[in-house]
Amino acid sequence: MKSITINGSQRESVGKKATKALRNAGQVPCVLYGGDKPVHFAAAELAFSKLVYTPNAHTVVIALDNGETFNAVLQDIQFHPVTDRILHVDFYQLFEDKEIALNIPVQLVGNSKGVKNGGVLRRNNRKLRIKALPVNLPDFIEIDITPLKIGDKVAVGDLLNDKYSFLHTDNTVVCQIKTSRVAIEDEEDEEEEGAEGAEAPAAEGAEAAPAAQE
């Protein structure tokens, strides 16, 4: 998974006055959880643009001015209700030998046969929550929808692998091809029906022949 570095400075004071002064200076108060004790620090608001305003998932390297660095993931973020400015950010520290739960975006590739025939692609879940060691966290979960026909769907049970586990039931639908008013039958289905229709007259003729001999 791609990583973003955020440079920050450790906070000596965590009171309301100190927090307000940080925000007035364009800094965002942050807390890193998951270690021996919480780490309070601040970082420039602009440093969060590539982390927050994107549909992609990233890990974070927090580099403090005292020389300490931490690997982490974004856990929670608070925005101002009116201005949408970032008010506070919580991170969770990563460890190589400990699994972490994270929401990963779903990326669909290919052109569905069902959509070509007038079906509608419905994305039921744009992100899926997984649990994995940090080294196995993917940038996204890729699904090839090319073979999907009208009525077909992809569920979590179809995506199982050895690197991470899903925190959803196997029957959770990720995407599906729904029918529509303009939908037509898939070409393969039409060919099968045509083959059956071609065999029918021959069968009738075979039955009629003995009757004619009598």
User: Got the DSSP string for 22-61?
Assistant: HHHTTEEEEEEESSSS-EEEEEEGGGGHHHHSSSS--EEE
Give pLDDT tens digits for 80-123: 999 989 999 999 999 999 999 999 999 999 999 999 999 999 99
State both tokens at 197. 């229709």
Query: What H or E segment, with its residue span, contains residue 171?
Result: none
Q: Where are the domains of the chain?
A: 3-94, 101-187
Residues near 164 by beta carbon (within 8 Å), at least 6 away in sequence: 130, 131, 132, 136, 137, 138
Mean of the pLDDT values across residues 21-34? 92
CATH number for the segment(s) 3-94: 2.40.240.10
Q: Distance between CA atoms of 207 and 85, rounded to whole angstroms?
A: 81
Give the CATH fold of the 101-187 domain: RNA Polymerase Alpha Subunit; Chain A, domain 2 (2.170.120)
Give pLDDT tens digits for 32-91: 999 999 999 999 999 998 888 888 889 999 999 999 999 999 999 999 999 989 999 999
Q: Is the pLDDT score of 203 beyond 90?
A: no
Category of 84 on φ-ψ map: left (φ > 0), alpha (ψ -120 to 50) or beta: left
29: pLDDT confidence band, cut at 50, 70 and 90?
very high
> Whole-structure pTM over 0.85, yes or no?
no
